Structures are given as C-alpha cells and as structure tokens.
Amino acid sequence: MATLEDLGVSAFINIVGAFVFLLLFAFLRIQPINDRVYFPKLYLARKRTHDQRGVRGVINLNLCTYLRFLSWVPGALRMNQTELIHHAGLDSAVYLRIYTLGLKIFLPIMVVALLVLIPVNVAGGTLLNIRKEVVFSDIDKLSISNVSPGSNRFFIHLLMAYVFTFWTCFMLYKEYSNVAFMRLHFLASQKRCADQFTVIVRNIPRVSSHSTSETVDEFFRRNHPDHYLGQQAVYNANRYAKLVKRKERLQNWLDYYQLKFERHPEKRPTGRTGCFGFCGRKVDQIDYYRARISELDKRMASERQRVLNDPKAVMPVSFVTFDSRWGAAVCAQTQQSKNPTQWLTDWAPEPRDVYWQNLAIPFFSLSIRKFLISIAVFALVFFYMIPIAFVQSLANLEGIEKVAPFVRPVIEVKVVKSFLQGFLPGLTLKLFLYILPTVLMIMSKVEGYVSLSSLERRTASKYYYFMLVNVFLGSIIAGTAFEQLYSFFHDPPSQIPRTIGVAVPMKATFFMTYIMVDGWAGIANEILRVKPLIIYHLKNMFIVKTERDRERAMDPGSIGLGENLPSLQLYFLLGLVYAVVTPILLPFIIVFFAFAFLVYRHQIINVYNQEYESAAAFWPQVHSRIIASLLISQVTLFGLLSTMKAAYSTPLLIFLPLLTIWFHKYCKSRFEPAFRKYPLEEAMEKDRLEHASEPSLNLKTYLANAYLHPIFHMFEQEDQKEETTVEVRIDKAQQQQQHHVRSSHSQYHEEESSITETHYNHQEERTSQVQYQYHYQHHHEENMGSQQSPPHFV
Amino acid sequence: MATLEDLGVSAFINIVGAFVFLLLFAFLRIQPINDRVYFPKLYLARKRTHDQRGVRGVINLNLCTYLRFLSWVPGALRMNQTELIHHAGLDSAVYLRIYTLGLKIFLPIMVVALLVLIPVNVAGGTLLNIRKEVVFSDIDKLSISNVSPGSNRFFIHLLMAYVFTFWTCFMLYKEYSNVAFMRLHFLASQKRCADQFTVIVRNIPRVSSHSTSETVDEFFRRNHPDHYLGQQAVYNANRYAKLVKRKERLQNWLDYYQLKFERHPEKRPTGRTGCFGFCGRKVDQIDYYRARISELDKRMASERQRVLNDPKAVMPVSFVTFDSRWGAAVCAQTQQSKNPTQWLTDWAPEPRDVYWQNLAIPFFSLSIRKFLISIAVFALVFFYMIPIAFVQSLANLEGIEKVAPFVRPVIEVKVVKSFLQGFLPGLTLKLFLYILPTVLMIMSKVEGYVSLSSLERRTASKYYYFMLVNVFLGSIIAGTAFEQLYSFFHDPPSQIPRTIGVAVPMKATFFMTYIMVDGWAGIANEILRVKPLIIYHLKNMFIVKTERDRERAMDPGSIGLGENLPSLQLYFLLGLVYAVVTPILLPFIIVFFAFAFLVYRHQIINVYNQEYESAAAFWPQVHSRIIASLLISQVTLFGLLSTMKAAYSTPLLIFLPLLTIWFHKYCKSRFEPAFRKYPLEEAMEKDRLEHASEPSLNLKTYLANAYLHPIFHMFEQEDQKEETTVEVRIDKAQQQQQHHVRSSHSQYHEEESSITETHYNHQEERTSQVQYQYHYQHHHEENMGSQQSPPHFV
C-alpha cells in the first residue's frame, strides 16, 4: 500500500507532466504554421483565415505573445452559453454541463466530507492503537477503515450517505430539468429545418405491382390525407460509395506523383505495380494512375446507371415529409399499420446525422442482430482476456523466430530479449484497448441504428459496461472479469457487496493515481493534439497543393461521445463511491472536473467540428448512469458497514437504494419524454408562428431534396463536370394532378403553391443549385424543389 | 413419499368428489327454481324468461330430463366461436383459448414424453439396482431420478427439452398471432362505440382564471383544430355515491319490514335502534326506516347541489371526443404538452369499464403510489407469514379465555379444546388466502388504474407472484417464503437451481394431488355455484317482491380474471417443469385443461355476465407468463442435470434460455403494439367506411353524454321521480357560436349538424331519454346530444 509520500511523488510527476504538456501547447498554438491544427473550427466557421506569408506565416516572432502563454484560459471562458450554443451546437454546450454538474455535486460534498468525516475518521484511531502489526497506509487513517468496528460513529457515515444522496439527487433533478428546458427551447427557437417536417419510414412492404415510391405515396395519401406532402426514396448506393472511396485514394497518389514531378521536372516518377512497390513491372506512375482512374470512372458510370434504373436499388425505406410540424409529429409518434413490424415511423435524424448504410435492414434481421450483439458485448466484457491471452501466446519470441528466422540474431541479444518478453504482452493489451472503441462502434453499426448520434450513444453505453467491469470492479477485486463472473455465480449474493466493500478503502490510493494519470495528464494530452499535429504536417508536406487541399488536410475531430461519456461516468462513480469511504479522494476528482472543463471548453470553441446536432439526446443516459453510480456506492457502503459490525446503523441504509430507484423512475417519466417525443403543443405553436410570419412559404420546394442520398450529390458533381445542359422546370400539371387525389381539406396547399410561385423562382436563383430531374423522374415524382445539400459529402 | 397406491386412492376420492358435484349440478340445474342461478346470462340477454308458475315453476317433474343429466356438455360445445364472441364478448372467447392452448401444447408433449422418456427412465434402473437402502416411490421409477448419474441417456432428456421448448414457442407464436388478428378483426368489425372516438385526458393543469372545461376546450381547439369535437368533464361524486349506497341499504330493510307486515298484517314489526337490535329504544321499524330515508334524501339533495355548483367538484380529468377515429387515435398516441406530466392522454376505456374513483389522482401521487405498492406486494409475497403468525398467536385459547371468560367452561372440554387448537391457526391462514384476491384488488386500486380491466390484470399479476413463490417454490423447497428469501441471499446463485432442481422430481406426487384437489374438484365446485345458489335463495325468501327485485337478486358473477389467470398460469408452469422430469404428471394436467374448458365454456355461455370488453387486452400477460414458465423449467432442469454429473449434456442447455428470451423479445415487438396502440390505417379505413355508409351522421349528438359520470344518471332518476318538467331543446345559437371559434377547416361540421337535424330528433324520440340541461348548463356546454346511458349503475 502506498504511503502519503509515494502519492506525493506520483502527484508531483503527473503535475509536472501536465504542466509540460500545457507549456508545449502554449508554445505550439501561437505558431501560425500550426494554426489549422489548433483552430480548425474557426476556419470551418470562416472566423479565421490564414493570410500571412513567408516566415511570419510559419513561426511566431512576436515575443509578447510568448509571455501571455496562459491566455487561452480566459479565452475559453469568455463565450457565454447562448453564444456557445450558436457557435458549436446544443450537444457541445450540454456536454460541458456534465463537467459543471460534477463540480456542483462534488464541491459541497467535498467541503462537508472534509469538515465532518475526516475528523471523525482520524479520531476513530483504531489503526494506530489496535492493529499495529498490520501494515497500513497514511491514507487509511483518513478513511472509514480507521473507525473501530461496532462504533457508534458509523451513524455519522450513515447520515452523510443520506445527505450526499439527497444532494446528488437534488442537483440531478435541477440539471435534468434545465437540460430538458434547454432542449425544448432550442427546438422551439431553431430555424426551419428539414428534419422538423420529415419522418423516416422503415420496413415498407413490397407490393408486387407497385414500385416502393408508389406504395409509400398511396399509403400516406390514404392515412394522412391532410398533411402528407411528399417522399424521398432511398437508394442502395453502398457499392458506388466504395468505388468513390477507391477513386479518391488513387487520386491522392496521382496528386502526390504530379507534385513530385513538378518539383523535379527532370525525371518522371516511376515504380512497380505489385505489392507495396516491391515487385511487378515498372511503370510511369503518372500514366499508370491516370489509366486506373479513367478505368474506374467507367465502372462508376455503369454502377450509377444501375442504381438509377434498377428498381431493386430502391430500398424499402423512405423519408416522408409533411406540410407541418404537427403532421410530422403525429406520424412519428403513432402506429401506422396493422402489422406492427411494417411501416415503422420515427423522427428523421438530421440529414447529416443519417447513417445511410443501415437504412435497409428488415425488422426480423434487426431483432436477431440486437440479440446477437448483446451476447457479443457480454462476452467481450467478461471474456476479452481469452483471445488476448491467445494472441499473447502466439506473439512470443519462439513464435517470431519460427516465422522469421532472420531476426534470430537480434532477438537472442539478452537485453533485447528481456525487453521484448516484457513488452510484447503489454503491447497486445494496449493495442486491444486502443481499438476497443472502434470495435464497439462496429458492433453498434451491426445492431442497425440509423443515425450517427444513436450509434455514438450505443457505443458509449457498451464502453461503460466494459469500464465498469474491467476498470472499476477489476481494480477493486483484482482479478480478471472472468474470475469475477465465476465468483458472482459461486459466492452467495450477500457476500459480493462485502467483498467489494472491504476492498474499496484499500484501493483509494490506486484510484488517486489513476485519476492523475488518466484524468490530469490525459486531458493535458488532449489539448496538445499530438496525433492530428503530426498527421497534418505530414499531409502538408506530401499532398497539399491548393488551399482547398489544406482545408481537407485539417482534422478537427469531434467530442467523441462514445469514449468520453463512459470515462466521465467513471469519475462520477469513483467520486460517489469514495465520498463516504475515503473523502480525501474528492479533491483529485474536483481538480479533474475543473481542468477538463477548461480544456474541453477551449477545444469545443476552437477545434472540434460538430458532426451532427442531436439536441442533447444523450442526457437521459448521463442521468441514469449517475443514478447507477449512486446505487453502486450505496451497495458497497452497505457491504463495508456489514463487515464493520455496525449492526444498528447498517439496516437503516436499506431505504436509500429504494428511494434512489423511485427518484429515477420519477425523473424518467417526468423528463424523458422530452427527449423521445415532440409535443404537439410545441409543434402547433411553431407552425402557427411560421404561418403568420411567412404565409407564402412553399414548403414543398424547401423540403424537396433535403434527404437526397449523398450519392445524388456526387452524380450532380459528375453532371457538372460533363457539362450536361441542366434543365430546370416545374412540372405544374403533374403537381396539380397529385393534389386532386387528396381530400378537399388540403386544397389550400394548391392555392398556396400557386401564390408562392415567384418566391420559389427567387430561391432557385439564389441557391444556384442544379436540378436534374430529366434523368430519374420516374423514381421520385415529388422531388421538384431546389436542392438542399447536406453539408458533409459535397 | 407416496406410492402409486396412495396416489390411486387420492385420485379415486377426488374423481368421486368431482362426480358427486357434477351429479348434484345436473340435478339442481334442471329445477326451475334454480333457473336464475344457473342461467343468469341468458336472463340478462333476454334469451330466457321464467314463465311457469306453481309447482312446475319450482321442481322439475319431467323425468326424461333426469336421464339426460350430462346434456350440458354438448350444449356447451355447440356454440361456435363467432357466436360466442357475439354472445359473451371477445374477452371470454379468448379466455377459453387459454385452455385450448394448454391442450395444444401438452397433448403432443405428453404423447412424445410417454413414448420416449418413460422407457428411457425405466430402463435407467438406478433406483432398483443401486440405492436399495433409499426409500423411493413408484413414481420415481418413471422419472428422471431413475437414470444413473453420468449416464449418456441424459442427452435424450436434453433433446426433449429442446423439442418441447420449440413446440411450445411454435404454439405460442401461432396463438399470439391468432389472438392479435382476432383483436384487430373484432375492433374493425365492432359497431360504432363511444370509446372509439374518445380519449381520456388526465392531469389537466389548473389555470386560475379559467374553469377546467374552458382550459380543456381552449387547449384542444388550439392543438387539434381539425378533429376536436367536445369534452365531458368528470365530477368528484364519490361522497354522493356513498350516500346512495347507504340509502339502498336502508331501502332494503324497509322493503323487508314492509313485506313482513304484508304477510302478517296483524302486527307491525318493531325493533330497537341500537347495536344489532339489542339495545336502544323500541321503534316501529317501518316508520323508523321511512324517516331515516327521507332524512338521507335531504342530505343527498344538498350534496347534489354542491357537486353541480362547486367548481372544485370538477376534477382535472376529462373525456375528450373527436370527430373521427383517426383524430382520437392520434391524440391518444402522442404527447400533448411540453411538460410530460400534464395533459396525459390515453385511450378512453369503455364507459362501463371506467373506474371513476381513480380518475383524479395527480401524476406525482401516482408515481409514489406505484412505488409504495410494489414494495407492499414484495413484502406481502415474502413476509405474509409474519402477520399471520402474529394473529395466530393472539387467537389462541388463552387469549380467547381472557377476552371472553364466559366461554371457558366450553373450551375446557378436552375434545373441543384439541379441536380448536388444531383448527384455529389453519382457519386464520384459510381466511387470509380467501381474502387475498380482495386485498390485491384493493392494492391495485390504490395504485390508481382507471379501468376495471386494467385493475383485474394488475391483480392477476400480483396474485401470480404470490402463487409462484408460495405455492410453487414454497412446496418444492418446503419452507416459508421468508426462509427462501434468506437462502437466495446467502446461497451462491449457482446453488439455487440445484436445490430446486433436485427437489422437483421428489415433489411430483404432491403436485399430482394438488392438481386433483385444486384443479379437478375445484372446477366441479365452480360449476355447482354453491355460494350464489344459497345467497339467491336467501334473498328470494326475504327481500324479493317484484320481478325486478328478482333480477337484482341474481348474481351472475364474472370470469374473475384476477384469480383465474394466475392459477391457469401455474398449471402451465407445472406442466412445463415436469414435462422432462416426471412426464407421468402430464395426463393430470391434460384432464384439468379439458374438464375446465368444458366447465368454463358452459359458465360463460349460461352464467357469467360480461362486465366490460377489453378486447383480449390480457393476452400479452398470458404469453409472457408462459415464457417465464419455460425459463423456470429450463433453469430447474439445468440445476437437476448439474447434480447428475451429466457434464457433457448440461452445458448444451445454456442456449435454450437465450433462444427463449430472444423469442419473447421478438414476439413482444411483433404483436404487443396491436394490444397497446390503434393503427392509423385501421382507424382511417373505419372512418372512411362509416362516412360512406352514413354520410349524415351527427357524431356530436351520438357522443354527447356517453361518458357522463354515473351520478348524473342518478340525478336524472331523481328528476323523473320529482316529476320536474323536462325541457328538451337544442341551443342552436350557442352551438354556432362555438363553431365560429374553430378554424375554418372544421366548418363542415356545422353544415353537417344542420343537415342532420331531423335525424337527431328521431333518435331523441326513440331513446326516450331525458335532457336536463337547464340545471348545469354552465358546466358542460358541449353535452347537448341524446343521452347514452352506461348499462351498469342505472
């Protein structure tokens, strides 16, 4: 067990490490050459441009700025919440609130715990008086272990457990209510978006004589006659997307060789076609890549024809639009068909949030996928050591010597051998942990979620289970997860909280070190952005030719909810578990929350690019994980106290988890619907306001191509390149014919659309985006408006 | 342990008992005097009238009918399913399908088990050869216990477990699909009902300056402008209802004394007013009760005034009606308000299904009630022995002697004393078990469900938990539930299935006896209807004067889902658990299902009165309980095999529960929405059909008073008695004014209503029910149609 001195040394090292990182960051960020690494968000938002040339464009020569090296801190704090939401979206703003929530919960708890519990524990003095033979750490003198068994002092710990739980619940309630309000306010004050009027319909049944589009049209004309506006078919263009990626890779190489040739015009670059340029025949690289690209172009053109003409390329999914938010809200929340596995409706995610590859999965397959993945996650969490041990046994020195005998002389050197033998198993494990979030993301994709936001949320929850079992329980019980599982089955249930509870105070120093390494130094590493820094400069050296290339070489990244939410939740868990047991751990957590808040605020303002906007849809998860942490802390305390012979106080703890569960249920029914459903009151209000302010709006035009599959934007680019004559026309006759099919209630749309004719044409000219209806008119007769292009992919 | 002979004796006794009951029933049912006990349903449906007078009206003298004493069996089978649904409702028809499902599942399983498993078990022969010193029963030779540990024969049991599970799941899937189809078909072919157009709105917020009705009107006019029709306020008339009950009781006594006086005109009946007629002053009973009734009348009149005029008597609940099924379906399935705890909408239950007392419970209180009741149910299930033991300790002979010393001489007689000492504790327990369903029903009422059907479903699920723990586990582990709970916490989880698994085959004879006593004899008792028979004849003797009184003296009862569903589910559990272990139990279960099917079919056709129609809303519960039984059977088999050293076959069992859980999840998402939501496709189709067949229907009139609180029907009766002049008028001007407030979309209602004026008046005359708008017009300006009276309560 670590003494206070050990801990002090560890703290010193980590603080120095973090400080060095910060100094490095302060130095690097003011060099103009790194501008696009440390301020990509501002470039994307067109708030910053790189205009200085020459040396001044590479190195900062203004010495004054070196002195103000901590100037990023006030800069990060200056922006207020409204501006932040405007600048980086509600998701980011609410994400930062998790850190402030941590501060709000733990600061008062720390003050009370340090003032009340530390004196009680120290005065307990068992460790000093009785068990002199046992080796104990100084930290233990401050923890609950120092109180003598059977003491009445445990009533104070019990009282504190109640106080802390009530305080946490109170803050959680306030925060949930705040976030729910922010979400509703955000949705209400949001400007008009396509997703407000759109519903995603999955599992459209195939009717033999009809095309999917016709089936959808007919169904919604019949069942939503007053509000149905149109629909957007979804094409299965996954194969085409693959070809596009391949072409991009080839184009990169071509660019690279062309640049090389420009710099050294005396010799044309040559190389071999075989594996990694080692074998195969020798070719002129520029000619070779040109030929391959033109070949690929031909394949893409034929694939494109297939997608457009083959009815099988139309997937049984559709984005259905309505003439009002009310209509869309109604359709998204109700059951459409007698068969509840068909015509599944849900809110359409934002266009940029859609994960197109998963749209076509049928219901039955979906239910099997979910089941299999949940088994796989269970196996991954509890048995992940088995494949790793297997790989480790393969990747030993004998194995390597067999496969590659030529390295034997090197390996047999004693120093190298012992280093490798210690290093290889660790490397395998590190590699696994590094790719784990990617593996979990792939699992979530297999599960079939259709939006990026839900994919990240699902990944986060899988990762949380992994961390809970392998980091928290694994560190406390000190065994593999598999061994834990075995003991869960073979120990009596009443023994498990005891085992954990007894081990908790002993592991306090370990977790303090963990917080310093993973929390403090990790966050300082985050702000330095080593990996994007290196990759950006590499790209800059080899590929970048134009300003546009430089823009593409930027890698702003995103918050990465999938990884960050679970580790944040782990800190809440540690804080709540140790609040009563070893309160001296709390200051470490508070430093983490404060420091991480600053860093992430800075990154969100200057670096991360917002990939989508889910309007804080992840909050219910954050809330329930903190509740789960509360429950875990209560159970461990119960286990600990029951070994301390505190027979009078322990039974009083039973009400705490019951109250917590009730609180959770109440919050769930009180707030969660705000994150899952869209109230009709709200929808109607917004519709009415809009109708009053813009009575002549032509929604049909506005919504026309909002949910066009990204492939069509590529087609469009192709068309532009080939300089086809683009035809813009409004098929008025067709439109009218469609309206006649509807009931008399919706006739006013027709009038509206004829009134807003002029408006429509204006918009057309302004956006200057092309129409290309001539080609696949038969596929979607409804899409006749101006082109709304999703920001990613163009 | 019982031998085969013991079991044979028990079977003989029970079969004879059941046969005697059946003979008694056959004799009693053909006596005309019992006609109203054994055929009340037919009287209520006006399919049978009592017209014979004299001796022929009391005793059946036709000897031929005595010979055909089993004639009720073909009678019960004759009606086909469509007729049955028409005669007794879908709930009853689907309830009977549970029995046929039992037969469909267990008949093939029994055939396979008897042909395959019994030979395998008998040939195993361990018990005969090895363990001669152990006492074992003959039944055990046929069970899995007879196979020697570690034998490869267990692979056959394993295979059978898979086969039985697949067969059960297959039948469950088919049945769920059938029932879901029947439900949708029933709802689709149902004639027009008020509940199709009505949504119940709870937790209406109080707006200071508005009455509740105005708030509701305003809210729905704003958010459902195209489909909102009107609303029906709900009055808190619980106190008035109490007074009515009291008056009825007094009226009964008055009737009794008047009848007595008519029979013996020579002396007026007298009595004392004090407790039970023992003390107090002597009065003329007829005058006394007349005076008390007239006094009560006065109080009722003032209470009535209070309900009508006090704005606080209007509860924050309302029945909101729409002009189409589509509109109601939309409102019921969507979230209305930004605050998800306000404006909660749900399908309105049928008018006769509404449980009025629970309508006014606010959301917060509801969430606390649910929480507290779930704790109470847990306590009741596991600790019910504690209060009973307490009462038993009080109700011992010494206690009684102290309270009532005058009984001491009787008690001290030795025979009486020993009888009482054995009898009293058992009586306490019996009494508790007898009132248990009532207690559980009260608990469900406290939980705050608003319809009788959901109350019965909730009671059923509570009762199921009680039976599972106390009857099934209690009999197998042989200890109180509290002891079980203790061992659940203190034994390792892997031990529990073993403990249960090992005990299961040993308890087979016990459960066979249980099935015979509770199942066979119990069902025979059900058809005899001893209690209603006695009560009817008592009432007939003392109270009945007119034909209407006789009608009211009938007690048809109902199926009693709250008690019958759980015991049925217990039989499924027994069948599935013993199918692999001791297949000889299966014939007993099959006899039960077949016999009970016949009896309940007869009772449903001739006796039970349908209290409400929930369109088989209980089926998802039945389905998931059978799935739970499957899981329990798999876990116990796993535990049993793991003690049998069947190391190769046991691990293969792990996949079975996983597959079963997946099957359950799939069925849940595939079928359950059909029981919870109403698809828009369906609603639209029905709306369209109705619009085509009855274009001139005035829905407003039709729906006007469908959901009037029962109290108003009483008021109406009062009005009739007092012979007030009843004014029927249509406030045309007012109606028009209301329509003008609405959006232009709904103007066609107004035209419609003027067109259908004549129709409206016709209906008025036909139903010949009164309007009494003059009195509380300001309360609900919308209720101006003809009176629809709920069938119960008038």
pLDDT tens for B730-773 read 333 333 444 443 433 434 444 443 333 334 334 333 333 333 33
Task: Report if residue B729 sits inside a domain.
Answer: no
* pLDDT confidence of residue B103: 95
Residue A341, number of CB atoms within 10 A of its CB:
19
Sheet holding A198-202, edge to edge: A228-235, A314-322, A198-202, A344-347
Residue B677 burial by CB count (10 A; 0-12/13-18/19+): exposed, middle or buried?
Answer: middle
Name the residue facing A679 among B226, B338, B494 (closest C-beta).
B338
Alpha-carbon distance A33 to A52, whole Å?
Answer: 10
- For residue A201, what is the enclosing H or E element? strand A198-202
pLDDT surpassing 60 at residue A183: yes
Assess whether pLDDT exceeds 90 at residue A96.
Answer: yes
Q: What are phi and psi of B705, to 5 degrees?
A: -115, 20
Is B291 within the bounds of a domain?
yes
State yes or no: pLDDT of B724 exceeds 80.
Answer: no
Examine the domain organization and report whether A92 and A164 are in the same domain. Answer: yes
Would you tell me which residues 177-206 of chain A have a C-beta closer than 8 angstroms to some C-beta of chain B? Answer: 184
- The H-or-E segment that residue B282 falls in is strand B282-284
Secondary element (H or E) of residue B485: helix B481-490
Same domain as A477, residue A388: yes
First-to-final CA distance of chain A: 58
CB atoms near residue A154 (< 10 Å): 26
pLDDT-based confidence at residue A714 (cuts at 50, 70, 90): low
For residue A775, is pLDDT > 90? Answer: no
Show Cβ contacts of residue A457 under 8 Å, excluding neighbours closer than 6 positions.
Answer: A561, A617, A618, A621
How far, in Å, are A237, A507, B259, B358 from residue B245 at the CA level?
72, 67, 21, 18
Residue pair A388/A475 in contact (Cβ under 8 Å)? The answer is no
**pLDDT tens-digit profile of B514-523?**
888 888 888 8
Does A325 have pLDDT greater than 60? yes
Share of chain A above pLDDT 70, in %: 78
**Which residue is it, tokens 């809110």?**
A347
What are the backbone dihedrals phi and psi of residue B321, each rounded to the nearest 5 degrees, phi first?
A: -110, 150
Which of A 716-755 lie inside 8 A of B, CB atoms? Answer: 745
In a domain, residue B282? The reply is yes
What confidence score (pLDDT) does residue B275 get? 58
Pair B359, B233: CB distance under 8 Å: no
Beta strands in B287-339 (DSSP E): 314-322
Classify residue B513: in a domain, yes or no: yes
A334 touches chain B (CB under 8 A): yes
- Alpha helical stretches, state H, A39-190: 40-44, 63-67, 72-78, 81-112, 118-124, 126-129, 138-142, 154-189
Say if residue A690 is exposed, middle or buried (CB neighbours under 10 Å; 0-12, 13-18, 19+).
Answer: middle
**Structural domain contains residue B692:** no
- In the predicted model, what is the mean pLDDT of residues A623-643? 91
pLDDT score of B408: 72
B302-319 b/e (C-beta count within 10 Å ≥ 16 → b): ebbeebbeeeebbbbbbb
Instruction: Name the domain boundary from A316, A349, A382.
Output: A349
Per-residue pLDDT, averaged over B214-225, amounts to 88
Task: Convert the pLDDT of each residue in A570-589 to its tens digit.
Answer: 999 999 999 998 898 999 99
A319 and A454, same structural domain? no
Same domain, yes or no: B438 and B535: yes
Per-residue pLDDT at B179:
93
pTM: predicted TM-score of the whole model, two decimal places: 0.80
Sheet of strand B344-347: strand arrangement: B228-235, B314-322, B198-202, B344-347
| B488 contacts chain A (CB < 8 A) | yes
Residues 212-251 of A with CB under 8 A from B: 219, 222-224, 226
pLDDT at B109: 94
The reply to whether B338 touches chain A by the CB within 8 Å rule is yes
Question: Between chains, do A494 and B490 touch, taking CB under 8 Å as contact?
Answer: yes
* pLDDT tens for each residue of B568-604: 999 999 999 999 988 989 999 999 999 999 989 988 8
Query: One-letter amino acid identity for A565?
Result: L
CA pair distance A437, A433, nearest whole angstrom: 8
Write out chain B residues lying below 8 Å of A226, CB-based: 226
Residues B640 and B656 reside in one and the same domain: yes
State the smallest CA–CA distance between residue B672 and chain A in angstroms: 8
Cα–Cα distance measured from residue A38 to residue B197, given in angstroms and rounded to the nearest whole number: 61
Q: Give the range of the structural domain holding residue B333, as residue numbers without chain letter.
A: 198-349
Whether residue A215 sits in one domain with residue A173: no
Rounded to the nearest integer, the mean pLDDT of chain A is: 78
- Residue A573: Cβ within 10 Å count: 22
Which chain A residues are Cβ-neighbours of B367 within 8 angstroms? 662, 665-666, 669
* Contacting residues for B426 by C-beta, under 8 A, at least 6 apart: none
pLDDT of residue B312: 77
Confidence of residue A769 (pLDDT cuts 50, 70, 90): very low
User: In chain A, which among 388-417 make CB contacts under 8 A with chain B?
Assistant: none
Question: Please, are residues A143 and A505 in contact by the beta-carbon 8 Å criterion?
Answer: yes
Residue A760 in this model has a pLDDT that exceeds 60: no
CB contact under 8 A, B223 and A681: yes
In the three-class reduction of DSSP (H, G, I as helix; E, B as strand; rest coil), residue A736 is classed as helix
How many domains does one find in chain A?
Answer: 2
Structure confidence at residue A715 as a pLDDT band (50, 70, 90): low
B205, B178: one domain = no
CB contact under 8 A, A684 and B223: yes
Q: What is the CA radius of gyration of chain A?
A: 31
Residues A143 and A267 both lie in one domain = no
| Closest-CA distance of chain A to residue B525, Å | 42
Looking at the structure, tell me whether residues A273 and A404 fall in a common domain: no
Highest mean pLDDT among A506-510, B40-44, B135-139: A506-510
pLDDT at A742 over 70: no
Which amino acid is present at A556? P
Residue A731: band (very low, low, confident or very high) from pLDDT cuts 50, 70, 90: very low
B residues 640-659 near A, CB within 8 Å? 658
Burial class (CB in 10 A: 0-12, 13-18, 19+), B4: middle
Tell me what pLDDT residue A53 has.
54
Residue A725 domain-assigned (yes or no): no
Q: How far apart are CA A478 and CA A507, in angstroms?
A: 10
CA distance A585 to A113: 11
The long-range contacts involving B381-388, CB below 8 angstroms and separated by at least 24 positions, are B381/B465, B381/B466, B381/B469, B381/B470, B381/B481, B382/B469, B382/B481, B382/B482, B382/B484, B382/B485, B383/B481, B383/B482, B384/B432, B384/B466, B384/B470, B384/B481, B385/B480, B385/B481, B385/B482, B386/B482, B388/B428, B388/B429, B388/B432
How far apart CA B595 and CA B321 sit, in angstroms, is 45
Asked if residue B143 and residue B224 are part of one domain, the reply reads: no
Q: Best of B183, B334, B377 to disrupt the A interface by mutation (most A CBs within 10 Å)? A: B334
pLDDT at A408 over 60: yes
Nearest alpha-carbon partner for A573 in A535, A624, A612: A624
State how far the Cα of B475 lies from the Cα of B511, in Å rounded to an integer. Answer: 9
Write out chain A residues lying below 8 Å of B379, CB-based.
Answer: none
Nearest CA of chain A to the CA of B224: how many Å?
A: 9
Quick one: A517 and A625 in the same domain?
A: yes
Q: B636 by DSSP, 3-state: which?
A: helix
Domain contains A731:
no
Beta strand pairing status for B198-202 and A228-235?
A: unpaired
Choose the final residue of a domain: A314, A349, A384.
A349
Cα gap B775→A487, rounded to integer Å: 73
Separation of alpha carbons B674 and A338, rounded Å: 7
Query: What does each C-alpha distance from B343 to A670, B317, B369 come to in angstroms?
Result: 12, 9, 20
Residue B112 lies in a domain: yes
Q: How far apart are CA A313 and CA A235, in angstroms?
A: 5
Of the three residues A663, A682, A701, the one that is the final residue of a domain is: A682
Cα A666 from Cα A660, distance rounded (Å)? 10
**Judgement on whether residues A336 and A375 belong to the same structural domain of the protein:** no
